[in-house]
Amino acid sequence: MSGVYIHIPFCKQLCHYCAFHKSISLQAMDEMLDCLKMELKIRKDYLQDKTISTIYFGGGTPSVYPVKQIESLIETISKYWNIEADAEITIEANPDDLQPNYLKNLAASPINRLSVGIQSFHDEDLILMNRRHTGREAFDAILRAQDYGFDNISVDQIYGVPGLTMEKWQQNLQQVFDLNIQHISSYHLMYDPNTIFTRKLEEGQLQELDEEESFDQFKYLLEKARENGFIHYEISNFCKEGYISRHNSSYWLQQPYLGIGPSAHSYNLNEREWNIANNHKYMRAIQEHQIFSEKEALSFSDRFNDFVLTTLRTYWGMNLEKVRQSFGEEIYRHCSTKAKKYLQSEHLRQEGDAIILTDKGVFVSNDIMSDFFWINEEKEDAKTTI
Site track for ligand SAM across 36-75, x = CB under 6 A: ----------------------xx-x--------------
Contact positions with ligand SAM (CB under 6 A) in 238-267: none
114 binds ligand SF4 (CB under 6 A): no
Nearest Cα neighbor of 92 from 58, 66, 120, 119 is: 58
Q: Which does 9 bind (CB under 5 to 8 A by kind): ligand SF4, ligand SAM, none?
A: none
117 binds ligand SF4 (CB under 6 A): yes
Residue 321: CB atoms within 10 A of its CB come to 11
How many of the chain's residues bind ligand SAM (CB under 6 A)?
A: 16
Q: How far apart are CA 118 and CA 352, in angstroms?
A: 38
Q: Report the residue from 10, 17, 307, 363 that binds ligand SAM according to the rule CB under 6 A.
A: 17
DSSP string of 264-298, one letter each residue: -EEE-SSEEEEE-S-HHHHHHHHHTT---EEEEE-
Strands 183-188, 231-234: pairing is: unpaired
20 binds ligand SAM (CB under 6 A): yes
DSSP helix/strand/coil, 181 = coil
Nearest Cα neighbor of 77 from 261, 274, 243, 248 is: 261
Instruction: Enumerate residues 6+ apart whose C-beta is below 8 A from 63.
Output: 91, 92, 93, 94, 97, 98, 102
Q: Please return the burial class of 207, using the count of CB atoms within 10 Å of its CB with bins 0-12, 13-18 and 19+.
A: exposed
Closer Cβ to ligand SAM, 176 or 354, answer by number: 176
Q: Which does 371 bind (CB under 5 to 8 A by kind): ligand SF4, ligand SAM, none?
A: none
Q: Report the residue from 23, 94, 279, 319 that binds ligand SAM according to the rule CB under 6 A.
A: 94
Tell the smallest beta-carbon distance from residue 320 to ligand SF4 (Å). 38
How many of the chain's residues bind ligand SF4 (CB under 6 A)?
A: 11
Segment lying near ligand SF4 (by CB under 6 A), choices 10-18, 143-151, 208-216, 236-244: 10-18
Closer Cβ to ligand SAM, 142 or 158, answer by number: 158
CB burial string 183-192: b at 16+ within 10 A, e below: bbbbebbeee
Cβ atoms of residues 71 and 113 within 8 Å: no
Residue 74: CB atoms within 10 A of its CB come to 19
189 binds ligand SAM (CB under 6 A): yes
Which residues in this chain contact ligand SAM in the complex, by CB under 6 A?
17-18, 20, 58-59, 61, 92, 94, 117, 119, 156, 158, 187, 189-190, 192
Which residues in this chain contact ligand SF4 in the complex, by CB under 6 A?
11, 14-15, 18, 20, 22, 59-61, 94, 117
